[in-house]
Protein backbone atom coordinates (compact mmCIF):
# COMPACT_ATOMS: atom_id res chain seq x y z
CA UNK A 1 0.00 0.00 0.00
CA UNK A 2 1.22 3.50 -0.80
CA UNK A 3 0.99 6.18 1.85
CA UNK A 4 -1.95 8.57 1.51
CA UNK A 5 -1.51 12.31 1.90
CA UNK A 6 -4.37 14.64 2.68
CA UNK A 7 -3.95 18.41 3.06
CA UNK A 8 -2.77 18.00 6.67
CA UNK A 9 -2.20 14.30 7.30
CA UNK A 10 -0.16 11.28 6.29
CA UNK A 11 -1.99 7.94 6.48
CA UNK A 12 0.46 5.05 6.52
CA UNK A 13 1.15 1.59 7.90
CA UNK A 14 2.43 1.10 11.42
CA UNK A 15 6.06 1.45 12.49
CA UNK A 16 7.83 0.29 15.65
CA UNK A 17 8.13 3.83 16.99
CA UNK A 18 4.33 4.28 16.89
CA UNK A 19 3.92 1.97 19.89
CA UNK A 20 4.71 4.50 22.61
CA UNK A 21 2.64 7.41 21.24
CA UNK A 22 -0.32 5.13 20.50
CA UNK A 23 -0.11 3.60 23.97
CA UNK A 24 -0.20 7.13 25.43
CA UNK A 25 -3.41 7.76 23.45
CA UNK A 26 -4.76 4.38 24.66
CA UNK A 27 -3.92 5.28 28.28
CA UNK A 28 -6.41 8.18 28.23
CA UNK A 29 -9.79 7.03 29.69
CA UNK A 30 -11.64 9.79 27.82
CA UNK A 31 -10.34 8.56 24.47
CA UNK A 32 -11.17 4.94 25.27
CA UNK A 33 -14.57 5.34 26.93
CA UNK A 34 -16.58 4.38 23.80
CA UNK A 35 -14.16 1.73 22.48
CA UNK A 36 -14.47 -1.98 23.29
CA UNK A 37 -14.93 -2.50 27.02
CA UNK A 38 -14.37 1.22 27.65
CA UNK A 39 -11.12 0.73 29.58
CA UNK A 40 -7.74 2.26 28.76
CA UNK A 41 -5.29 -0.14 27.12
CA UNK A 42 -1.82 -1.02 28.30
CA UNK A 43 1.37 -0.91 26.27
CA UNK A 44 1.10 -4.67 25.74
CA UNK A 45 -2.53 -4.44 24.57
CA UNK A 46 -1.58 -1.58 22.26
CA UNK A 47 1.18 -3.74 20.76
CA UNK A 48 -1.44 -6.45 20.14
CA UNK A 49 -3.71 -3.92 18.41
CA UNK A 50 -0.92 -2.77 16.10
CA UNK A 51 -0.01 -6.38 15.35
CA UNK A 52 -3.65 -7.23 14.54
CA UNK A 53 -4.00 -4.18 12.26
CA UNK A 54 -0.79 -5.05 10.44
CA UNK A 55 -1.96 -8.66 10.00
CA UNK A 56 -5.19 -7.35 8.52
CA UNK A 57 -3.20 -5.18 6.10
CA UNK A 58 -1.17 -8.21 5.00
CA UNK A 59 -4.17 -10.53 4.68
CA UNK A 60 -6.94 -8.25 3.41
CA UNK A 61 -5.11 -5.44 1.64
CA UNK A 62 -6.81 -2.88 3.87
CA UNK A 63 -6.60 -1.99 7.52
CA UNK A 64 -6.33 0.71 10.15
CA UNK A 65 -3.90 3.48 9.22
CA UNK A 66 -1.44 5.24 11.48
CA UNK A 67 -2.41 8.93 11.17
CA UNK A 68 0.52 11.31 11.30
CA UNK A 69 0.47 15.10 11.16
CA UNK A 70 2.30 16.36 8.11
CA UNK A 71 4.97 18.78 9.17
CA UNK A 72 5.50 17.79 12.78
CA UNK A 73 5.38 14.03 12.20
CA UNK A 74 3.41 13.51 15.42
CA UNK A 75 1.22 10.41 15.60
CA UNK A 76 -2.33 11.77 16.01
CA UNK A 77 -4.05 8.38 16.19
CA UNK A 78 -5.56 5.52 14.21
CA UNK A 79 -8.24 5.66 11.50
CA UNK A 80 -9.20 3.01 8.98
CA UNK A 81 -10.93 -0.19 8.05
CA UNK A 82 -11.32 -3.54 9.77
CA UNK A 83 -13.53 -6.62 9.67
CA UNK A 84 -15.39 -6.89 12.98
CA UNK A 85 -15.76 -10.26 14.75
CA UNK A 86 -19.11 -9.17 16.17
CA UNK A 87 -21.95 -8.27 16.47
CA UNK A 88 -23.23 -10.86 13.98
CA UNK A 89 -25.10 -8.21 11.95
CA UNK A 90 -21.75 -6.72 10.85
CA UNK A 91 -19.32 -9.60 11.32
CA UNK A 92 -17.46 -10.11 8.04
CA UNK A 93 -18.55 -6.72 6.69
CA UNK A 94 -16.01 -3.90 6.43
CA UNK A 95 -16.19 -1.27 9.14
CA UNK A 96 -14.55 2.11 9.67
CA UNK A 97 -13.07 3.09 13.02
CA UNK A 98 -11.20 6.06 14.50
CA UNK A 99 -9.46 7.25 17.62
CA UNK A 100 -7.31 10.32 18.02
CA UNK A 101 -5.34 11.64 20.96
CA UNK A 102 -7.38 14.22 22.82
CA UNK A 103 -5.14 17.13 21.83
CA UNK A 104 -6.00 16.39 18.20
CA UNK A 105 -9.78 16.62 18.60
CA UNK A 106 -11.85 19.52 17.30
CA UNK A 107 -9.59 20.26 14.31
CA UNK A 108 -11.28 18.20 11.63
CA UNK A 109 -8.50 15.59 11.52
CA UNK A 110 -10.79 12.60 12.12
CA UNK A 111 -13.10 13.60 9.27
CA UNK A 112 -10.15 14.34 6.96
CA UNK A 113 -8.58 10.93 7.65
CA UNK A 114 -11.89 9.04 7.47
CA UNK A 115 -12.73 10.69 4.14
CA UNK A 116 -9.36 9.54 2.76
CA UNK A 117 -9.95 6.02 4.15
CA UNK A 118 -13.33 5.79 2.37
CA UNK A 119 -11.81 6.99 -0.90
CA UNK A 120 -9.04 4.41 -0.50
CA UNK A 121 -11.67 1.71 0.15
CA UNK A 122 -13.56 2.48 -3.04
CA UNK A 123 -10.85 3.54 -5.46
CA UNK A 124 -7.95 1.31 -4.41
CA UNK A 125 -9.78 -1.73 -3.09
CA UNK A 126 -13.13 -1.70 -4.87
CA UNK A 127 -15.03 -1.88 -1.59
CA UNK A 128 -18.56 -0.62 -2.22
CA UNK A 129 -20.10 -0.62 1.26
CA UNK A 130 -18.70 0.31 4.68
CA UNK A 131 -20.40 0.15 8.06
CA UNK A 132 -19.75 1.64 11.50
CA UNK A 133 -21.10 0.69 14.91
CA UNK A 134 -20.67 3.47 17.47
CA UNK A 135 -22.30 3.48 20.90
CA UNK A 136 -25.31 5.80 21.27
CA UNK A 137 -23.50 8.20 23.63
CA UNK A 138 -20.55 8.66 21.28
CA UNK A 139 -21.73 11.94 19.82
CA UNK A 140 -18.30 12.90 18.42
CA UNK A 141 -18.35 9.77 16.25
CA UNK A 142 -21.97 10.38 15.24
CA UNK A 143 -20.91 13.86 14.09
CA UNK A 144 -18.07 12.44 11.97
CA UNK A 145 -20.38 9.75 10.53
CA UNK A 146 -22.94 12.35 9.52
CA UNK A 147 -20.26 14.55 7.92
CA UNK A 148 -19.14 11.53 5.90
CA UNK A 149 -22.72 11.00 4.72
CA UNK A 150 -23.15 7.68 6.54
CA UNK A 151 -26.73 6.92 7.52
CA UNK A 152 -28.12 5.16 10.55
CA UNK A 153 -29.65 1.84 9.58
CA UNK A 154 -30.74 0.56 12.98
CA UNK A 155 -29.58 -0.61 16.37
CA UNK A 156 -27.73 -3.77 17.33
CA UNK A 157 -26.34 -5.24 20.53
CA UNK A 158 -22.67 -5.88 21.23
CA UNK A 159 -22.78 -9.49 22.49
CA UNK A 160 -19.27 -9.28 23.96
CA UNK A 161 -19.68 -6.18 26.13
CA UNK A 162 -23.49 -6.01 26.33
CA UNK A 163 -23.67 -2.46 24.93
CA UNK A 164 -26.22 -1.04 22.55
CA UNK A 165 -24.68 -0.01 19.24
CA UNK A 166 -25.97 2.09 16.38
CA UNK A 167 -25.43 0.66 12.94
CA UNK A 168 -24.38 3.14 10.23
CA UNK A 169 -23.74 2.35 6.60
CA UNK A 170 -22.67 3.99 3.35
CA UNK A 171 -22.86 2.89 -0.28
CA UNK A 172 -19.49 4.12 -1.56
CA UNK A 173 -20.59 4.00 -5.18
CA UNK A 174 -22.73 7.01 -4.29
CA UNK A 175 -20.06 8.65 -2.11
CA UNK A 176 -19.53 12.26 -3.01
CA UNK A 177 -16.96 13.10 -0.33
- Shortest Å, Cβ 24 to ligand COA: 13
Classify strands 64-69 and 9-12 as parallel, antiparallel or unpaired.
antiparallel
Q: Kindly tell me which of 115 and 127 has the beta carbon lying closer to ligand COA.
A: 115
- Burial tier of 28 (Cβ tally within 10 Å: 0-12, 13-18, 19+): middle
Residues of the shown chain interacting with ligand COA in the complex, contacts defined by CB under 6 A? 31, 34-35, 97-100, 105-111, 134, 138, 140-141, 143-144, 147
Question: Nearest Cα to 61, choosing from 104, 94, 17, 29?
Answer: 94
CB 6, CB 119: distance < 8 Å: no
Q: Shortest gap between Cβ of 77 and ligand COA (angstroms)?
A: 6
Residue (100 or 127) nearer to ligand COA, CB:
100
Minimum distance between the CB of residue 8 and ligand COA, rounded to whole angstroms? 8
Q: Which residues contact 96 (CB under 8 A, 6 or more apart)?
A: 79, 80, 81, 114, 117, 118, 130, 131, 132
* Short-list 143, 10, 145, 136, CA closest to 73: 10
User: Minimum distance from CB of 136 to ligand COA (Å)?
Assistant: 11
Q: Name the residue nearer to ligand COA (CB basis): 88 or 136.
A: 136
Compare residues 31 and 167 and give the one whose CB is closer to ligand COA. Answer: 31
| Nearest distance, CB of residue 148 and ligand COA, angstroms | 9
Nearer Cβ to ligand COA, position 10 or 35?
Answer: 35
Amino acid sequence: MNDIRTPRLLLRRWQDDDLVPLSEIHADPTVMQWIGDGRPRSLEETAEDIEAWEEEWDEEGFGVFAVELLGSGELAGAVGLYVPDSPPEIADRIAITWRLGRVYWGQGYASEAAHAALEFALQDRGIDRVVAAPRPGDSASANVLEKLGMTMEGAVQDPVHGHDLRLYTIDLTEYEG
